[in-house]
Structure 1
Amino acid sequence: MPELTSSYVDSLAPNAAAIKNGQGLVRKKSFIQLHISENGELLFGQCAGSGKTPYECSVDFIATDSPVFRCSCPSRQFPCKHALGLLYAYVEGQAFTPAPVPEDVASKREKADKREENKAKQAAGGAVKPKKVNKSALKKKINAQLEGLDLLEKLVLSLIRGGLSAIDSKTVKTVQEHVKQLGNYYLSGAQTQLRRFALLLGKGQDREESYTYAMEQLTRLHAFIKKGRVYLAARAEDPELALDHESTIDEWLGHAWQLSELKEYGLVKEAVELLQLAFYSCDDPARQEFVDLGYWLETDSGEIHRTVNYRPYKAAKLMREEDSFFELAQIPLLYKYPGDMNARVRYEEMTTRAAGEQDMERVRAGAHRSYAEVVKKVKNQLKHPLSDKNPVLLLHAASVGVTEGGQYTLTDEAGGQLVMEDIPSLPQGTLELLPFLPASALKDCCILVMFEHLLDQGRLIAQPLTLIQGGEITRLLY
């Protein structure tokens, strides 16, 4: 069993409410029995509920880094408040009586061991069977998607011909109806982007300000229609119906990549170490989901990856909310999604350790030092209409200063400068925090920044997310 602390238990909770409720069970002395197995790998007990029969709950640490939570309660939240309460009771030093492992837990352990054993045998023998694809059904889906693209194209062209200034509430309603229809054509990615366009038009603020961004969104949709149609037509002719594992076109079409698919296309990397440099959660009404975003530095390559956790509105209370992570993650197998800069990554398991001085040296070594090259790299990405419009890079700054006009700037070793401003895409500003940092922290430092091109002004700006000076990492976004 790992060392149990309040912070560790907090990190296992799906949300803040679960933490509060789990701790509340301990304060109310709701646990009737508290037991621990003889080898210390299992905590289990009974907790009084609303009915006559108490809930049987347990936390199994037979795999130290992956605790297994079990409970007889009907909650769909995982882990539930009873399992969390069990851990909080242990952390607070309540008495746990030694007892044999319950039969039902022993039986479940045995079944889990057999599953893992079978997986290991298949992996060793290369007996993993490729997933069977119903090609007939897939071709029908592709044809439906092509029909959906035709429908979307008619709408986009009519909006362009009519001009944004002619759009009224009736037109917005028509767009919203098309958003719903796209779901019938298996175009969930395009559905999200069209909803984003509708939201831009429906903003209560000055319409003129949103016209530029609405026009860009139409441009993105038009580019997607052209690329999507060519791609789907080619895929329909491909006897293997293979996915495009080099671009994001399938994601735009609504494909949800499975880890098995990423592995099949070789989009995996072994023995990777990641250090999270920034994290934030936001509400994305276009996706109708809450989104948890983490930006991580791969210490060997210096690449900045991102982890993304989507929590649909309807199920958000039942899903685990990600949080900031401060240790170094050692990942046996890292899955990488198709994409350009800041490609999305996922992993199934990891171990952790504290970041040392050598790790911080590798972080500093991965920072870009020429802003001219950085700007060129960012602009090359922004030229592609389907690319991520907010790339994130780690830069070295010889100094952070303020111009006579009050603008913050980054200066590289050659004297090149980048203007820093709070960008619209982030949920909060960070520049207002810079004056609270000591002057020594703003020289010879590394700064993680997010870029955005202000279309209505024709300027490229960057917002600081994190500042790294020596061995200290100061997160400005939270």
Structure 2
Amino acid sequence: MNHLTEAYVDSLALNSSAIKNGKDLVKKNSFPLLCQSEDGTIIFGECKGSGKDPYQCSVDVIKEGNPVFRCTCPSRQFPCKHNLGLMYAFTSGKTFIIAPIPQDIADKREKAEKREEKQKEAATTDAPVPKRKTNKSTLLKKITAQLEGISIAEKLILQLVTSGLGSLDKKALQTADEQAKQLGNYFIPGIQSALREFTQQFRSDLEREKVYAVGMEQLTTMHALIKKSKEYLNGRLDNPDLTIDGETTLEEWIGHAWQIAELRELSRVRNDIELLQLSFRSYTNPARGELIDEGYWADLQSGQIHITRTYRPFRAAKYIREEDSVFQVARAKELAIYPGELNTRVRFEEAAYREARTHDYMNVQQAASKSYTDVIKQVKNLIKNPLSDKHPVVLLQYAEIKKTESYFVLIDEQGKQLPLADIPYLNAPTTSLLTMLTKPHLENQSMLVMFEHNWTHNRLEAQPLSIISANEVIRLLY
């Protein structure tokens, strides 16, 4: 239990309310019994509840980085407030008596160990992992429905274009929303969200001319999405044995939610990978009806910048753990890598954490791109593709950060300049924070930036997310 700190417990909580509720239990002395095992791998106890009998709660950390929470309360939150309170009682120095591990927990541990042994035995055999069988009849029905929904979306977009963007008044937008809502029955949530984002853009407070520019870009994306989706799905309809597209983001654009088991089958997993988070943000996506927690991580082995995303639907947000900034190095037991391009999305369930060291920061710095000419060319080629990420994140080395009359610029070792600006997509200004940097951080360091094409000035701009020096990460967006 040595690694159990208040900050770590905070990171396990689903949200800030759960943190408050857990700490309140400790303040109210709601735990008449607090125990820990002799080997320090489990804490358990009793917590007063609304009924006459206290809740039996425990936190089992026999597997580092993957705590198991148990409680007899009816809550569907894991960890529940009683588990959190138990951990906060431990971190605050409450007295825990040494006691034998309860028999029911010992039995559950034994069953879990047997399951793991069987999995290890299966992994060491030469026999290939059996792929899940696909019900072809169900698959064909789904694809047929998807194509029908795409046909409806295509007609709706054609109607919007034919009428002209200038005709999109309140009534027309309401009609478009109602038609987009019908797409929820056709297994194409990604296309449905793209349409909602388009209509919501015209309800924003932006100047109409700026809205038109963004709207045209969104229409171009939807046109390409519908064209490619029809070709791809018709191909699968003709040949149900055709493998799902595991190389591009097309399936995710249509609305497919990748499962780790699928990514394993596609060999899109790596083991024991160390990651250092460089930046983090949380935002709301009304079109998807979700809260999104997004982290930007440096792969300490390859130097690639990955993205983690946790989607929390509005209706179920309180039951899904709210992610937060991570300042330690995470060693992922299994890293699942989603199909993608420059910044691939990743996911990991189990991880051990350690403090970041100098060589970790040095690894990140060495992975940073030195030539802005090459980076700009790469980014431009990326965003030309309608279905590519329009806001790629890149790690850059810089010789100097310089302030001109109107804006900051990054200068590489060849003297090439890159303008820095607060891009509308992030809706979180960071450029002004550069004035607070000390002189050592203004020269010969690395910076994580997010790109965006500025339609008004017809140029690429980059917003600073963090500075990486030889011994720290200075987060501007965290």
* TM-score normalized by the length of structure 1: 0.97
- 1:29 deviates by 0.4
**1:303-341 Cα shifts (integer Å, max 9, x gaps):** 111111111111111211111111222223221111111
User: Aligned with 1:31: secondary structure?
Assistant: coil
Aligned to 1:237: 238
CA distance in 1, matches of 2:313, 2:171: 28
1:25 aligns with 2:25: yes
1:315 aligns with 2:322: no
**1:139-179 Cα shifts (integer Å, max 9, x gaps):** 11111111111111111111111110011222111211122
CA distance in 1, matches of 2:4, 2:249: 41
1:357-368 paired onto structure 2 within 5 Å: 357-368=358-369
CA distance in 1, matches of 2:38, 2:274: 35
CA distance in 2, matches of 1:38, 1:475: 41
CA distance in 2, matches of 1:242, 1:269: 21
CA distance in 2, matches of 1:74, 1:333: 31
**1:49-90 Cα shifts (integer Å, max 9, x gaps):** 112121110111221321111111111111011011111111
Aligned to 1:203: 204
CA distance in 2, matches of 1:338, 1:114: 34
1:214-225 paired onto structure 2 within 5 Å: 214-225=215-226
- 1:118 deviates by 2.3
**1:216-238 Cα shifts (integer Å, max 9, x gaps):** 11111111110000000111122
Note closer, same or farther for the CA distance 1:291–1:353 as it changes in structure 2 (3 Å cut). Answer: same
CA distance in 2, matches of 1:99, 1:353: 29
The question of whether the paired residues in 1 share the 8 Å contact of 2:139 and 2:240 is answered with no
- 1:8 deviates by 1.8
Of residues 5-14 and 380-389 in structure 1, the stretch that sits farther from structure 2 once superposed is 5-14
Note closer, same or farther for the CA distance 1:391–1:438 as it changes in structure 2 (3 Å cut). Answer: same
Note closer, same or farther for the CA distance 1:336–1:158 as it changes in structure 2 (3 Å cut). Answer: same
1:115 aligns with 2:81: no
Note closer, same or farther for the CA distance 1:2–1:179 as it changes in structure 2 (3 Å cut). Answer: farther
Aligned to 1:348: 349
- 1:461 deviates by 0.5
Q: Which residue identity lines up with residue 192 of structure 1 in the other structure?
A: S
Note closer, same or farther for the CA distance 1:235–1:2 as it changes in structure 2 (3 Å cut). Answer: farther
Aligned to 2:186: 185
Aligned to 1:61: 61
The question of whether the paired residues in 2 share the 8 Å contact of 1:410 and 1:420 is answered with yes
1:453 aligns with 2:453: yes
The question of whether the paired residues in 1 share the 8 Å contact of 2:64 and 2:352 is answered with no
1:39-438 paired onto structure 2 within 5 Å: 39-125=39-125, 126=127, 128-404=129-405, 406-438=406-438
The question of whether the paired residues in 1 share the 8 Å contact of 2:65 and 2:353 is answered with no
**1:161-214 Cα shifts (integer Å, max 9, x gaps):** 111001122211121112211111110110111110011012244323211111
The question of whether the paired residues in 1 share the 8 Å contact of 2:150 and 2:226 is answered with yes
The question of whether the paired residues in 2 share the 8 Å contact of 1:267 and 1:336 is answered with yes
- 1:357 deviates by 2.1
The question of whether the paired residues in 2 share the 8 Å contact of 1:327 and 1:353 is answered with yes
Q: Percent identity?
A: 51
User: Aligned with 1:148: secondary structure?
Assistant: helix
Of residues 105-114 and 174-183 in structure 1, the stretch that sits farther from structure 2 once superposed is 105-114
**1:249-293 Cα shifts (integer Å, max 9, x gaps):** 111111111111111111122332211111111111111111111
Runs ≥4 residues deviating over 6 A: none
- 1:127 deviates by 6.5
User: Aligned with 1:329: secondary structure?
Assistant: strand
The question of whether the paired residues in 1 share the 8 Å contact of 2:422 and 2:429 is answered with yes
CA distance in 2, matches of 1:168, 1:21: 46
User: Aligned with 2:198: secondary structure?
Assistant: helix
Q: Which residue identity lines up with residue 471 of structure 1 in the other structure?
A: N
CA distance in 2, matches of 1:77, 1:222: 41
User: Aligned with 2:10: secondary structure?
Assistant: helix
CA distance in 2, matches of 1:268, 1:12: 24
CA distance in 2, matches of 1:208, 1:36: 64
CA distance in 1, matches of 2:65, 2:204: 46
Note closer, same or farther for the CA distance 1:173–1:339 as it changes in structure 2 (3 Å cut). Answer: same
User: Aligned with 2:334: secondary structure?
Assistant: strand
Q: Which residue identity lines up with residue 220 of structure 1 in the other structure?
A: T
Q: Which residue identity lines up with residue 53 of structure 1 in the other structure?
A: D
Of residues 392-401 and 253-262 in structure 1, the stretch that sits farther from structure 2 once superposed is 253-262
CA distance in 2, matches of 1:320, 1:191: 26
Q: Which residue identity lines up with residue 80 of structure 2 in the other structure?
A: C
* TM-score normalized by the length of structure 2: 0.97
Q: Which residue identity lines up with residue 426 of structure 2 in the other structure?
A: L
